[in-house]
Structure formats: C-alpha cells, structure tokens
Amino acid sequence: MRIDDCYPTPPNIIKCEFETLRFFKDNPFGYQELPILSNDANTYYSAYYSKLKYHALSDFSFESKIDIKVDGKEGFAHIGALVESKDINNINRTTYYAAIFVKEGQKLLRKYHFDYEPSGKLHRQPSPVFHLQYAGELTPRLKDMNIDDNHLDTWLSEPRLCYFPLSLALLINLILKEFPDDTNFRLIEHPGWRRLVKKNENLIIEPFFKGCQAFFSNNNTNKLFINDFYYGN
C-alpha cells in the first residue's frame, strides 16, 4: 500500500473542479460578494466544459483572486489550481497555490504551493508525495503581472512539508477561513458552499486519512510513516 493509492483518477478530480467553478458562475451570491472569482469561473467553465463533457479534457488550469483584509489593510489572495494527467487513470501532478498581497503597490507577502507528486516519480531528491512548499515559482498570470518575488528567495525549494491533498474548493475555503470578514463568513456558512466542501472532503481528504489509518493498523514492517510511507515507499 502507498499513500496515494486512494487518490482520485484525473476525470474525477477535474469534474470536481468544474463543480466548484459552476458553484461560483451560477450562484448570485458569488457575483455579489466575489465578482472576480465568479467571472473567471464563468469564463473558464464556458470555454472548456464542452471538452470535459465529451471526455476530451485531460488537464485543468485555473487562476483567479479573492479580495481579503490583511491585518486590516486591503489585500487579495491570488489562488489557482493545476491538474496534469498522464493518462485517464493516472495523475502526472497537481498543484494548488495561494499568494497573499496587500493592494498598495501589489506587494507580495506570502506564496504557498500545495502539491501532489505521485509515488514512484523520479526527483532530484525525495519529497513527500503530498506536500506544502514555500514559496515556489510564479504562476503564469503572476508572471504577466510582473510581480516581484525575489524577496521570497524562491530559488530554495526545501523544505517540502508533509501535508494532505487539496482541491480548488478546499483551497478557497482555506483562504476564506484564514482571512475572515463579513463576506467570507457568509460564504463559508452558505448551505450550498458547505455541501460542496463536504463533497470535496469525501472525495479527496477522507480516502487519504483512511489510508494513513490503514498504515498504522496494518504496518508489520519497519517502515516509518514520516520517512517512508509519506515519501511514497
């Protein structure tokens, strides 16, 4: 057993991401409170859903932003998701990212990547299959914005910290919870949003933690959870 044995197939993950886009493009609440995210969701969904419908979409790449308050200052979180398939049954990689800015001067404060690199994939050096990385490379849209990230010392990739798998909805929910205001609170308590997050938890997080529990329940070898299992061995 490996830590990613229960990770969903590419079609299931991409379908899940489109359900998140549909929530924002079809929900009046989204346009009222998170207009940029809702408009971006509508644009991407309209452009690519037909390919998903006819099983012709193997990758998913989406970026947008959410207005937030950063220690009382006007700011925004630039969020995104990338899903790359090797074939219909196997993921090449997934990454979910969040960059935190203050609006004045578009100053970049933090940038995180939540990555999945499948077991058995060759790397320069081993890393946890599911990991959190600070700060990572700039995304395509951030590059187009000419964002300066030199102060984050992005040349250093390590350490990659053990983390659990995410999805676009779970990433957005994380931002809404960590940067609370009246708007974000109303969204995270919205019944439709809570149902969507629950569906994402059931698809992404529940199988992962069941696999972790199974490791401890059935481990009759000298394998370590941190050193071995989490690194895909």
Residues of the chain with pLDDT under 70: 122-123
Assess if residue 227 is contained within a domain. Answer: no
What is the DSSP-derived secondary structure letter of residue 176?
H
Q: Measured between alpha carbons, how far is 60 from 167 in angstroms, rounded to an integer?
A: 12
Q: Tell me the pLDDT tens digit for each residue of 173-205.
A: 999 999 999 989 999 999 999 999 999 999 999
Using alpha carbons, select from 4, 203, 9 the residue that is nearest to residue 87: 9
Assess if residue 4 is contained within a domain. Answer: no
* This prediction's pTM: 0.95
Provide the number of structural domains found in the chain: 1
Assess if residue 26 is contained within a domain. Answer: yes
Q: Would you state the pLDDT for residue 56?
A: 80
Assess if residue 2 is contained within a domain. Answer: no
Q: Would you state the pLDDT for residue 29?
A: 84
Assess if residue 218 is contained within a domain. Answer: no
Assess if residue 217 is contained within a domain. Answer: no
Q: Would you state the pLDDT for residue 122?
A: 66
Assess if residue 230 is contained within a domain. Answer: no
- Domain extent, residue 23, equals 10-204
Assess if residue 15 is contained within a domain. Answer: yes
Q: Measured between alpha carbons, how far is 172 from 55 in angstroms, rounded to an integer?
A: 26
Q: Would you state the pLDDT for residue 103?
A: 95
Q: Would you state the pLDDT for residue 125?
A: 80
**Residue 94 near residue 17, CB atoms below 8 Å:** no
